[in-house]
Structure 1
């Protein structure tokens, strides 16, 4: 090394500079690797061992994390995809995106709501919507559309959707709160269908104590007029709602409410009820046959109605020693006189056969019904008779209308109840016991009754605690 340095010093100054530049360039060339140099990271060989100082090709897939889930075939496919040149992969992704966009984007429809005005016809409404008489003809060739759209009423609404060319693409018309008529254009033809919302049923509780009258108590409890009448009908065989109710009587009911898409539709059936009248408790449970039974399983429907007419008041009660209002003589009044508006329907108190339907100067128009060998009922002073002698009648069937025919001082129904040939007070006589539910249904009914009455009691306790 000393001789080399001595020789270098003997060289001219210019030669020393050139030699230094040459050495520097040579070092740069030696230190920078060529393009063909492979990665020298040690990689597992085919035998599963690493080779010392051996260069291996490292695939790109091995440097990419493997997806946490998926089958081997999917992983293999992904690996092959990743081996493709970046430019080619990007190009395919772009093509795929364009295809997806083309499928997902639907034509923009021009949808408008049209309300039916007074005097509107379907043709007039279609004309206002920019549609043609041919559209009216084509749509009304569909049976459901013809039945409903040709009878549109003021206030109804039609939703009409058209495409960019102004063609009718879809029509929607609400038939009711849950059903919609839908007409779609498919391949230049119209097709119709009925779209129905799913109805959800919920149970609701209501109760009240009677202060003035039953009707006001029902309204205060949030019941509709229909529900009030339904409750009165359920207990119509046990309670006289005109005469038997007292201040302090109470009731509690569990009833259905129907919803569609979270929107209230209507009230449903009364599921269970309790009614306390003058200290006596009456229960009612609705079974799957649509009838009501006591919690123990006896039918609420008795053999006889307690009163055969919806009356305003009783003008004369059962009285064996009553003073007759016309003759002034003491004469037994063997029935009950119910006052109501002329023409009020009179119902058969029970199932039976009409043994007399006629007229005389004392009874006016009258009807006698024999129910069996024990019971007979009589209905006097009718305005009109709607049954003939010999006809069979069902309980609750209209047999005539209230009037003032015969020897009377005013319009009313004179009603008599006869047991084994003896007149009894219709308001107090013990009516035949109702039949129990069929034996094959008793076990299932017991489950239903326990569940509904338990829910009713739970709601009562919750409301009591809240107060």
Structure 2
């Protein structure tokens, strides 16, 4: 039945009452969930507090970065955060300019300095500029295979830095800038160690010495200085042996060279010779364990690599054709061969004497004099000068009555001619008194080391080639 206007009015009133009841029920539920402050009518004080809390919330969101953003879910992103770190300490390279690295190269066998610079793309002009620096020419032009040089080149191949070792303890670093060279010398610490080395000769003394670790210079000291008066090294045989106490120079854990020979012994022909280094009054010499110098007062042959062409005594003169007394001996050698003083002496005469041509006479003291004739020219000696044994006093020639280049050598004792090849040479003076005491104290440790090595060698049944201790 359709509702009348009165019925529709009553129905509307019914729905209005249901809505009021629903709101009241919801209100009770909200009152249970919210604090009491929200369940009553807000006063002015409530609104002031709410405003204050809202302001504080805004300030916190402003002060703490990302606070507000974190209130909303954000997509997961990988990001790099800029951190404020202290600046890095950069160690500049030791090249001539920052950023240029050293390129180290080694001298190859047979390679010249010019070829090395050319291979590095450095001009000859720059190389000569480096060589003209004081103290550079000699070490750089005498480099051996294996020596290291360092170059600092820029991207255009221009040389800005150059480095080399001037000596075992000095490294030179050059900086090239503006056409000028600036030098810095770096000291490299070295240490000296003492070692004992021994070897038995199989093929040659030189090969055995090198195998035992001796440098060519040390081998020369042993043959040309220590034992030159007692041993003819041309007669050394297989099975002969030697021992040496040597100084070794070390740098940064590497052996870079040999030093002085402090002692040496050489066994040949069943006899052992020993030499010990000792310095007295600024002069260095080698002595026997008893303190007698190994260096003899005179050397019998004052010219190396010569052939005896005429002996002492009566003979027919090659120029005059008459029998005459030959008061000396002749050594045939090429023109210009050096002539050495036979012993320490004072120069008595320098000049020309009839058939002798250019001649030098030396006074060795105690009535001993020597004469050297037929020289092509004189050495750097003058009358009255003191010379040491082995000093070059002149050069072989054929001045005066001579048929070819040779040295005429005479030995006189109190004005009387003696045969230089057979005369008994005066022995050198041994050490005495305080000098002998100082010698014994100094060489005692060295002598003990070399004697220990010798005992080890002779006690060994094997071949002791190249032993070191």
What is the TM-score when the length of structure 1 is the normalising length? 0.59
**Number of paired residues?**
343
1:33-44 to 2 correspondences below 5 Å: none
Q: Work out which of the residue numbers 369, 374, 378 in structure 2 matches 1:381.
A: 374
Residue 120 of structure 1: aligned partner: 122
Structure 1 equivalent of residue 68 of structure 2: none
State how far apart, in whole Å, the 2-side matches of 1:388 and 1:180 are: 39
Paired residues for 1:63-462 under 5 Å:
110=99, 112-114=101-103, 117-118=117-118, 120=122, 147=134, 157-158=149-150, 160=152, 173-176=163-166, 177-181=168-172, 193-202=184-193, 203-209=195-201, 223-235=214-226, 238-239=229-230, 241=232, 245=235, 247=237, 251-276=242-267, 281-288=272-279, 290-318=284-312, 320-322=313-315, 324-325=317-318, 330-360=323-353, 362-386=355-379, 390-395=383-388, 396-437=390-431, 439-462=433-456
Question: CA separation in 2, counterparts of 1:323 and 1:208?
Answer: 48
User: Which range is displaced more, 449-458 or 230-239?
Assistant: 230-239
Deviation at 1:410, TM superposition (A): 3.2
CA distances 1:56-92 after superposition (whole Å, capped 9, x unpaired): xxxxxxxxxxxxxxxxxxxxxxxxxxxxxxxxxxxxx
Higher relative contact order (CA 8 A, sep 6+): 2
Flag structure 1 segments of 5+ consecutive residues without an equivalent.
1-97, 126-135, 163-169, 185-189
Any idea what the Cα deviations from partners look like across 1:117-143, whole Å, max 9, x if unmatched?
238369979xxxxxxxxxx9xxx9xxx
1:283, distance to aligned residue in structure 2 (A):
2.1
Moved more, 149-158 or 453-462: 149-158
Q: Give per-residue Cα distances to partners, 1:248-298, cap 9 Å, x unaligned.
A: 765433322322122232221111112356665432111255432222222
Compute the displacement of 1:338 (Å).
2.5
Q: 1:321 to 1:157 in 2, by over 3 A?
A: closer
Provide the residue aligned with 2:17 in structure 1: none
Is the Cα–Cα contact under 8 Å of residues 243 and 265 in structure 2 kept in the other structure? yes
Q: Cα RMSD over matched residues?
A: 4.6
How many Å separate the matches in 2 of 1:148 and 1:433? 44
Larger Rg: 2
Output the CA distance in 2 between the equivalents of 1:240 and 1:344. 23
Residues 356 and 388 of structure 1 are in contact (CA less than 8 Å); yes or no, is this contact kept in structure 2?
no
Gaps of 5+ in 2: 1-83, 106-115, 155-159, 176-180, 464-469
Contact 2:341/2:387 (8 A) holds in 1: yes
Q: Distance in 1 between matches of 2:424 and 2:383?
A: 27
Q: Secondary structure at the match of 2:355?
A: coil
Once the two structures are TM-superposed, the CA of residue 376 in structure 1 deviates from its matched residue by 0.8
Q: Report if aligned partners of 2:291, 2:431 keep a CA contact under 8 Å in 1.
A: yes
